[in-house]
């Protein structure tokens, strides 16, 4: 426990510890052992032969609060119900992520948020007469992604004066400040009593959040027409129909309550993941104007100043895509992923792990492993992805997880991030308030999240 109290986050401590104790290693939190895997050798085992055996999920109070007695994709343990639900969610997600509706929606929300930013009384002009505004990078992104993912998930759109929109913003801030490491009782049961105010506040926050998403899901389901794909709820209901046509035995797993939980997973996790990655995208762009100019030039040459970026434009934007992949590599939103459980006795990297052991996958360590990325692995260098090898792409870019528990929303998140970055650079120039190189890249104090600290930046309109 004394080692755990040191200021470095757990995912960075583990990188130091494996040099002494090897990988994987075991830490003890109270009377509970947890194994941390941090090297490519362990990752090869987990993504390969142990893919399903390490597909269990550590049970937690946080997970139980969100599941409410039903099955979901994120927190349910490995079971036939989880497997069917995950496969149906994957089918629905792939179909919606390719939809041009998502591209159009994202561009619209970036435009709305940009126009709102420059319509405030604080807006000034630079020496060339271009509008200039100062705003929070995280808040700008939160406003965009909350609306994009709400419409994507349920067809429910929000403006700033919508009570639900404001409620979501408040809930997200409470969770960020009060539960950066989850529920205290999940670390040790007694901590739930010691930190009763915090525990109770987070529980109420989750209950409020689930009541909102329940209402939106019911409204979306009520207006659903078979074959329509207005949003992810539609896509999921259609995927269920297709699945049941081939396998009626799955009906008991694909009940409405379980589908609702799957949509809740995509909505809640989607906002957090994309917010983190996009915030770091903005910070790096503001920090390094040369990179920003290079990407904007590529975007304008490929699709112009005003055209909406679509899924087919990715190949025409190699530098922009490489930049985004480097941000994803360098700043994994959930650096240790969600804890797994070994479903049987296993051997990881020649070390025995008994059945029932909880396992953390150190995505942060693997993404910065010099054995995969070379001696500059700890440097931020986007152009590495222009020449990345197959091994680097398969083993060294694991921010969305590996094996059976990889993130089902990766395709949609990747699309959202590309669309927001492109549209933002078409609209504005991002700058650090104190000049290039002064953005605060430190993360909040958390062992399980890699959220950037909230900070203001300068937004300057790009003349068309």
For 261, counting Cβ atoms within 10 Å of its Cβ (0-12 exposed, 13-18 middle, 19+ buried), the class is buried
Q: Which is more confident, 252 or 422?
A: 422
Task: Write the pLDDT tens digit of every residue in 95-106.
Answer: 777 778 889 999
Per-residue confidence band for 6, with pLDDT thresholds at 50, 70 and 90? low
Q: Nearest CA to 56 among 69, 45, 46, 44?
A: 46
Per-residue confidence band for 121, with pLDDT thresholds at 50, 70 and 90? low
Q: Is 2's pLDDT higher than 60?
A: no
Contact 210, 66 (CB under 8 A): yes
Sheet of 428-431, strand order = 124-125, 131-136, 456-461, 428-431
Asked whether the whole model's pTM tops 0.75, one would answer yes
Whole-angstrom distance, CA of residue 136 vs CA of residue 122: 13
- How high is the pLDDT of residue 173? 86
CA angle 203, 364, 89 (to 5 degrees): 60
Q: Is 30's pLDDT higher than 80?
A: no
Whole-angstrom distance, CA of residue 164 vs CA of residue 9: 34
pLDDT more than 70, % of the chain: 98
Per-residue confidence band for 370, with pLDDT thresholds at 50, 70 and 90? very high
The predicted model gives 138-158 an average pLDDT of: 87
Mean pLDDT, the chain, as a whole number?
Answer: 91
Task: Write the pLDDT tens digit of every residue in 438-451.
Answer: 999 999 888 889 99
The predicted model gives 64-92 an average pLDDT of: 92
Question: Parallel, antiparallel, or unpaired for β 32-37 and 358-361?
Answer: parallel
- Cβ count within 10 A of residue 152: 28
Contact 39, 366 (CB under 8 A): yes
First to last CA, the chain: 57
Q: Nearest CA to 461 among 423, 422, 429, 425?
A: 429
Q: What is the DSSP letter of 316?
A: G
Per-residue confidence band for 331, with pLDDT thresholds at 50, 70 and 90? very high
The predicted model gives 398-410 an average pLDDT of: 89
Q: Is 435's pLDDT higher than 90?
A: yes
Indicate the range of 121-125, 410-414, 417-421 predicted with least confidence: 121-125
Contact 53, 343 (CB under 8 A): yes
Q: 164-184: buried (b, 16+ CB within 10 Å) or exposed (e) per residue?
A: ebeebbebbebbbebbbebbb
| Cα atoms in the Cβ-side hemisphere of radius 13 Å centred on 247 | 13
Tokens (6 digits) for 328:
């994803």
Tokens (6 digits) for 277:
């990655």
Per-residue confidence band for 391, with pLDDT thresholds at 50, 70 and 90? confident
Contact 358, 338 (CB under 8 A): no
Whole-angstrom distance, CA of residue 459 vs CA of residue 48: 45
The predicted model gives 311-325 an average pLDDT of: 96
Tell me if residue 113 falls in helix, strand or coil.
helix
Whole-angstrom distance, CA of residue 135 vs CA of residue 119: 12
Whole-angstrom distance, CA of residue 46 vs CA of residue 49: 7
Q: Is 3's pLDDT higher than 90?
A: no
Q: Is 229's pLDDT higher than 60?
A: yes
Q: Which domains are present in the chain?
A: 10-461 (1.10.630.10)
Q: Which residues are annotated as a binding site?
A: 407
State the residue for tokens 């997600």. 93
Residues with Cβ within 8 Å of residue 144, at least 6 apart in sequence: 106, 109, 110, 113, 420
Contact 283, 452 (CB under 8 A): yes
- How high is the pLDDT of residue 157? 66
Q: Which residues are annotated as a binding site for heme?
A: 407
Residues with Cβ within 8 Å of residue 247, at least 6 apart in sequence: none
Question: Parallel, antiparallel, or unpaired for β 340-341 and 56-57?
Answer: antiparallel
Question: How would you classify residue 425: left for phi > 0, otherwise alpha for psi between -120 and 50, otherwise beta?
Answer: alpha
- How high is the pLDDT of residue 247? 75
Q: Nearest CA to 175 among 212, 136, 207, 211?
A: 207
- How high is the pLDDT of residue 160? 67
pLDDT more than 90, % of the chain: 67
Tokens (6 digits) for 392:
């680097």
- How high is the pLDDT of residue 166? 83
Task: Write the pLDDT tens digit of every residue in 155-172.
Answer: 876 666 788 888 888 888
Task: Write the pLDDT tens digit of every residue in 104-113.
Answer: 999 999 999 9
Q: Name the helix (H) or strand (E) containing 36.
A: strand 32-37
| DSSP string over 374-443 | -TTTTS--GGGGGS--HHHHHHS--TT--GGGS-TTHHHHHHHHHHHHHHHHHHEEEE-TT-TT----PB
- How high is the pLDDT of residue 1? 46
The predicted model gives 215-231 an average pLDDT of: 91
């Amino acid at each position: 426990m004394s080692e755990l109290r040191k200021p470095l986050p757990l995912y960075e401590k583990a990188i130091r510890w494996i040099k002494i104790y090897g990988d994987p290693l075991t830490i003890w939190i109270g009377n509970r052992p947890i194994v941390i895997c941090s090297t490519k050798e362990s990752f090869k085992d987990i993504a390969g032969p142990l893919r399903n055996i390490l597909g269990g999920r550590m049970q937690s109070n946080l997970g139980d609060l969100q599941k409410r007695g039903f099955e979901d994709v994120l927190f349910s343990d490995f079971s036939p119900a989880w497997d069917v639900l995950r496969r149906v969610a994957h089918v629905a997600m792939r179909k919606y992520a390719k939809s041009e509706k998502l591209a159009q929606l994202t561009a619209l929300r970036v435009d709305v948020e940009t126009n709102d930013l420059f319509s405030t009384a604080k807006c000034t002009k630079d020496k060339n007469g271009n509008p200039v505004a100062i705003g929070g990078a995280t808040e700008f992104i939160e406003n965009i992604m909350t609306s994009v993912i709400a419409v994507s998930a349920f067809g429910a759109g929000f403006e700033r004066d919508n009570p639900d929109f404001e409620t979501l913003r408040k809930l997200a801030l409470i969770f960020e400040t009060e539960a950066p490491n989850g529920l205290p009782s999940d670390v040790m049961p007694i901590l739930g009593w010691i930190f009763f105010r915090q525990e109770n506040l987070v529980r109420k926050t989750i209950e409020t959040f689930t009541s909102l998403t329940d209402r939106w899901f019911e409204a979306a389901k009520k207006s659903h027409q078979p074959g329509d794909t207005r949003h992810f709820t539609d896509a999921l209901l259609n995927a269920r129909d297709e699945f049941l046509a081939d396998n009626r035995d799955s009906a008991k797993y694909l009940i409405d309550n379980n589908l609702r939980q799957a949509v809740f997973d995509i909505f809640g996790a989607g906002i957090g993941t994309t917010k983190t990655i996009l915030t770091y995208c903005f910070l790096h762009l503001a920090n390094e104007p040369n990179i920003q100019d290079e990407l904007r030039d590529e975007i304008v040459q490929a699709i112009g100043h005003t055209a909406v970026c679509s899924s087919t434009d990715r190949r025409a934007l190699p530098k922009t895509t490489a930049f985004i992949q480097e941000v994803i590599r360098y700043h994994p939103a959930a650096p240790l992923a969600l804890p797994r459980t070994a479903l049987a006795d296993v051997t990881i990297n020649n070390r025995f792990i008994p059945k029932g052991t909880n396992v953390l996958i150190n995505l942060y360590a693997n993404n910065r492993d010099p054995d995969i990325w070379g001696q500059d692995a700890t440097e931020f260098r986007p152009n590495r992805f222009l020449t990345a090898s197959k091994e680097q792409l398969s083993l060294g870019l694991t921010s969305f997880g590996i094996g059976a528990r990889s993130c089902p929303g990766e395709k949609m998140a990747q699309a959202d991030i590309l669309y927001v970055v492109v549209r933002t650079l078409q609209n504005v120039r991002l700058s650090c308030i104190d000049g290039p190189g002064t953005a605060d890249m430190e993360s909040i104090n958390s062992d399980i999240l890699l959220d950037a600290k909230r900070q203001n930046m300068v937004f300057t309109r790009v003349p068309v």
